[in-house]
Structure 1
């Protein structure tokens, strides 16, 4: 079971005045309409998509992408990317800083998150996660064998699976050691020789004058207040998603070597853009 990361320097609660509340409302209304309107469209399409394509989703991922791109427009947060999403069978690993990662990582690349099983029961978020095809697993080494089967089915369906190997979110200013447990599935004899892993770095730039950790969501922070603070910001910052070169699983001796290599690449990307 992963431990929740906590900062030794807590983030101070932001004060939201009347103007901030007005900005939050003006941003929240269209954002809610976008997210839930997109969800309704996705579910309707899925009614026809599922009988014909099963696990394959040739249409609905484009709905998710469009919603995530427009979300940044409504929030006023600049969205930038660098590098190219990989093609072919494989998985993606990235650092984890915020609930905004969901929008940032879906906005350009059609991916399916691999998440801890508890998320499926969260109000609202769990429903959205299930509708968009999230894979729910228990982070337990004893279940690695059963996870291989799940991953293989998804990969064979053409899905790009996205993992957060840190096992928790941080303040966005660092990358924690990648846990190698989930990487074990990639070394299955039916996957190893043709599977690639693409490291991705997500870097947030706070609004001018704000704490550099403004968009970070970690520890015991509640979702509602953090969302409100983000919506109420007078100025917004930006998020940059950097797609690094994919690596071949077969080029690594074991899961620990693969986890360390991708961790170093993601960390180097964060350090570069934090300069």
Structure 2
């Protein structure tokens, strides 16, 4: 997997005593909410799974609650423009930070597509598996299997969400969308019934902070970034912009669809930068 790494990382100031206090309070509350609700989710899933299989009519609401509550605990503003499409299909967005997961899950019941390595990450891997994340292996020899997994989940009514850039950035640009994962949408009968909705994530740094404050990219470690975010005396926000969905059958190939979605997402970020 390619990792985007350009320019110098923002200089991290010492947390200080007050920062440590905020970190301890916010971190404790966030952990209690997250893992407490995870326990509830797993209990509910014991009943939900044998009754509904891949479909999850109840547990996604628990995930939404956790994600919405996380922003309140951190003190970040989250604004939503547009709405999640009602059509059958998938959502694609630019990738800036681990916060993307909270920002996108807070709005609607969706299921992330992540690289298989994420399933092995301590803590995050457990949460991802419990919330129904689709794990993929980018080995070309498993392409047929990956397509079948996509189709099974889509036919179960799941809205899948993935980041076509394949890596995260500093939030000030949109990289080229890789067309690989769009291929499954062109298989029959999905092609005639699938829609893809582009989403732009726009992060606003706290007043006086480095503009790339919320970006998490390159070789930046997760733990220090998480701690710095939780310890901030001031917080900024994130705008989630849902653009009109694209009908897959209107495009001749996965490359054309990926390019169209990329241009729309980039246009949303450019418009925000100019405003």
The TM-score bracket by the shorter chain reads over 0.9
| Structure-1 separation of matches of 2:229 and 2:17 | 15
Aligned to 1:29: 28
What count of residue pairs does the alignment treat as equivalent?
274
- Return the offset for 1:9: 2.4
Aligned to 2:185: 186
Alignment of 1:220-235 (within 5 A): 220-235=219-234
* Structure 2 unmatched runs, 5+: none
- Return the offset for 1:274: 2.1
Aligned to 1:163: 162
| Structure-2 separation of matches of 1:83 and 1:201 | 11
Alignment of 1:189-208 (within 5 A): 189-208=188-207
Aligned to 2:103: 104
Which has the higher mean CA deviation after the structures are superposed, 7-16 or 53-62? Answer: 7-16
* Structure 1 unmatched runs, 5+: none
Summarize deviations over 1:25-59 as a string: whole Å, max 9, x none.
11111111111011011101000000100000000
**Equivalent pair of 1:38/1:63 in contact (CA under 8 Å):** yes
| Structure-1 separation of matches of 2:180 and 2:151 | 16
Aligned to 2:80: 81
Q: Normalising by the residue count of structure 2, what TM-score does the alignment of the two structures yield?
A: 0.98
- Return the offset for 1:142: 3.6
Aligned to 1:114: 113
Aligned to 1:268: 267
Aligned to 1:213: 212
Aligned to 2:175: 176
Aligned to 2:138: 139
Summarize deviations over 1:186-205 as a string: whole Å, max 9, x none.
10021101100000011110
Aligned to 2:89: 90
Which has the higher mean CA deviation after the structures are superposed, 50-59 or 138-147? Answer: 138-147
| Structure-2 separation of matches of 1:89 and 1:145 | 21
Aligned to 1:11: 10
Alignment of 1:40-55 (within 5 A): 40-55=39-54
- Return the offset for 1:240: 0.7
